[in-house]
Amino acid sequence: MKVLILGGTREGRELAALLHRAGHDVTTSLAGRVTRPAEIAGAVRIGGFGGIPGLTAHLTTEGVDLVVDATHPFAERISANAVAASQAAGVPLLRIERPSWSEHRLANRWLWVADHDEAARAAAGHDRVLLTVGRQSLDHYRALPRVLARMVELPSTPLPPSWEVHLGRGPFDIDSERTLLREAGVTALVTKDSGGRLTEPKLWAAAELDVTVIVVRRCPTPEGFPTVATAREAVTFLNG
Ligand code: NAP
């Protein structure tokens, strides 16, 4: 089977490895946001398709049998494009979506906000704010003075001089999260509802240290096609 994985996530890499090992013809598509992406089994293509028409044309000309949208829950545009293009090209679509943290055991201790502007307002009174929202959203938080911003790579525009930057690619374990929060004197943590287990340790560490947690809610995701939670579930679904 010829499979196009829309990736940029751990789930996408796991699925590429599983399908490649099983003998499928797998290509993972990356947006090209980071200069040194993690290693991925099978073929990799990099860069946007050119909206819905471009993705539709790609699916048709490449003879793709299945599209798997394994993108991040906050990568809303590419997910919407995948729905429209798969319909237009008549190619089945499967989505891997990390379960939201809305049902997390600690969820009722957190402040849930609708978007990054509301998160920035909520964080404004705090002495030291750890931002783990990805570099594309940092502009919303520029007015905050004492920020520690964690990201994989620096953004192209300079960050406020008062900010401290922590470059690193997760996942981070509970010990390192506890140490970071404690040593940096963090009083508030801002995160998106990325969900799943991989980036969860910061939430447990924050609870231990009584750090305020501000969570940006997800937008509703497109419906009307099969959705699974993990790469292994995706394989089970495909084999079934
Ligand atoms: P987005 O806003 O949904 O997409 C913007 C545009 O980027 C899309 O219209 C598409 O361009 C291109 N694009 C996005 N993902 C692509 C992919 N996997 N392959 C080819 N083109 C892609 O996306 P985003 O939020 O910037 O995320 C970009 C990538 O980073 C995704 O692969 C996502 O899984 C990963 N990521 C995102 C986040 C996050 O918080 N947003 C976190 C971790 C990883 P065209 O319209 O030209 O096709």
Q: What is the mean pLDDT of residues 120-131?
A: 97
| Burial category of 33 from C-beta neighbours within 10 Å (exposed 0-12, middle 13-18, buried 19 and up) | middle
- Which pLDDT does position 27 carry in this prediction? 98
Nearest residue (by CA) to ligand 1, atom 35, is 8
33 close to ligand 1 (CB < 6 Angstrom): yes
Q: How far is the CA of 184 from the centre of ligand 1 (A)?
A: 31
What does pTM read for this prediction? 0.94
Q: Tens digits of per-residue pLDDT, 39-81?
A: 999 999 999 999 999 999 999 999 999 999 999 999 999 999 9
- Which pLDDT does position 35 carry in this prediction? 86
206 close to ligand 1 (CB < 6 Angstrom): no
- Which pLDDT does position 169 carry in this prediction? 87
Q: Do the bridges between strand 212-216 and strand 2-6 make them parallel or antiparallel, or are there none, so unpaired? A: unpaired
On the question of a common fold for 2-97+221-239 and 107-216, the answer reads yes
Domain ranges in the chain are 2-97+221-239, 107-216
Percent of the chain having pLDDT more than 70? 100
Q: Is 175 in contact with 155 (CB distance < 8 Å)? A: no
Please choose from 77, 115, 133, 140 the residue to mutate so as to test ligand 1's pocket, defined by most ligand atoms within 8 A of CB.
77
Residue 240: CB partners within 8 Å, gap ≥ 6?
none
Please choose from 71, 95, 140 the residue to mutate so as to test ligand 1's pocket, defined by most ligand atoms within 8 A of CB.
71
Q: Is 111 in contact with 160 (CB distance < 8 Å)? A: no
Q: Tens digits of per-residue pLDDT, 150-163?
A: 999 999 899 999 99
Q: What is the mean pLDDT of residues 87-99?
A: 97
Question: Topology of domain 107-216, per CATH?
Answer: Rossmann fold (3.40.50)
CA separation for the pair 161, 131 (Å, rounded) = 15
CATH architecture for the domain at 2-97+221-239:
3-Layer(aba) Sandwich (3.40)
Q: How far is the CA of 220 from the centre of ligand 1 (A)?
A: 17
Q: Tens digits of per-residue pLDDT, 160-190?
A: 999 999 999 888 999 999 999 999 999 999 9
